[in-house]
Amino acid sequence: MPYVLSFIYVGIYWNNHHHLIHAIRRVNGPVLWANLHLLFWLSLFPFTTNWMGENHLSPVPTACYGFVLFMTAIAWDILTRTLISIHAENSALERAVGADRKGKLSGALSHGHHRQLLAAVDRRGHLRARRGGWAGARPAHRAHARKRRIVMRVGLISDTHNLVRPEALEALRGCAHIVHAGDICKRDVLDTLAPLAPLTVVRGNNDLGEGVADLPGQARVELCGAIILVVHDIADVPKQLDGVDVVVTGHSHKPSIERRDGVLFVNPGSAGPRRFRLPVTLALLEIDAGKVDVHIVPLVQ
């Protein structure tokens, strides 16, 4: 819904801006600066809306989104006042704009919309805005504390073979954790991925060099209530998988998703150099209170 409302909001502003500019008879320096000021805030709408959506209404993106909404309304008011000031008193433009009830209402609506989004953040257990600054969510031990619902996105990547594609970095951006299922080849790959999110990494059959040869052959990590086992070669997965929810493997360069006896097996494919005609892919795993969903992401055609 924020996406839909945002683009409707921008569309209304563009339409009103078009008619306003065509109604004036002259412009000066302050008008040009006021117009540039409005266009600046409008240009931030796609970025802040996407940032807020990708981060699931987390506090900072939501606060920035609301601030852009509010500043756009302020910029519109500044532009209309500046235009009216350079025309004669009781001009046709001043009469057409009138009290600008819609402009003032848009500011009030943007403020209210922002408060509703922050309330949604509060309901999901993130930080909430209080008078006097940001405060933490209610402690879990209080009787009235709400149960948190956290959806975690995990990037699954394998067989990079010393190649980190820009497309892979873009696909992994915003993930809370990254799992690499081996065949890294050089430590530089991990150094490139590390700034994006915490890593869980295992050794592949080609990981023989310094900085990767000492990586573990298997790794187990618990994320958002789901236990993930990482093994490079599916042939090395143990038969007993008690408590394991997801098994991540690599080696074959063939992306696959299947369930076996209630366990989700995922091979994200190879994100490195293309082998024969196999696709170049990774996978994104979403965990919601222990429930998992996954899909394969093609990186190149």
> Distance (Å, rounded) from C-alpha 132 to C-alpha 62?
18
**Consecutive 10-residue averages of pLDDT for the chain (301 residues):** 67 71 75 86 82 71 82 84 74 60 52 52 39 37 48 96 96 97 96 96 95 95 95 96 96 95 96 92 93 94 80
At residue 174, the 3 state secondary structure works out as coil
pLDDT at 147: 47
Q: Give pLDDT, residue 93.
A: 64
Scan for tokens 């819904």, then name that residue. 1
Q: Cα–Cα distance between 208 and 206 in angstroms, integer?
A: 6
The single residue listed with the structure tokens 């540039």 is: 36
Q: From residue 272, how far is each of 67, 161, 184, 210 by CA, in Å?
A: 41, 6, 9, 20
- Give the C-alpha separation, 51 to 17, whole Å: 26
Nearest CA to 269 out of 174, 156, 177 is that of: 156
pLDDT at site 146? 46
Q: What does the pLDDT read at residue 143?
A: 39
Report the C-alpha dihedral over residues 206, 209, 210, 214, rounded to 10 degrees. Answer: 40
CB atoms within 10 A of CB 187: 15
Q: Rounded to an integer, what distance in angstroms lies between the CA atom of residue 122 and that of residue 143?
A: 16
Name the residue with tokens 């076996």. 260
Q: In the prediction, which pLDDT does 91 show?
A: 64
For residue 179, what pLDDT is reported? 98
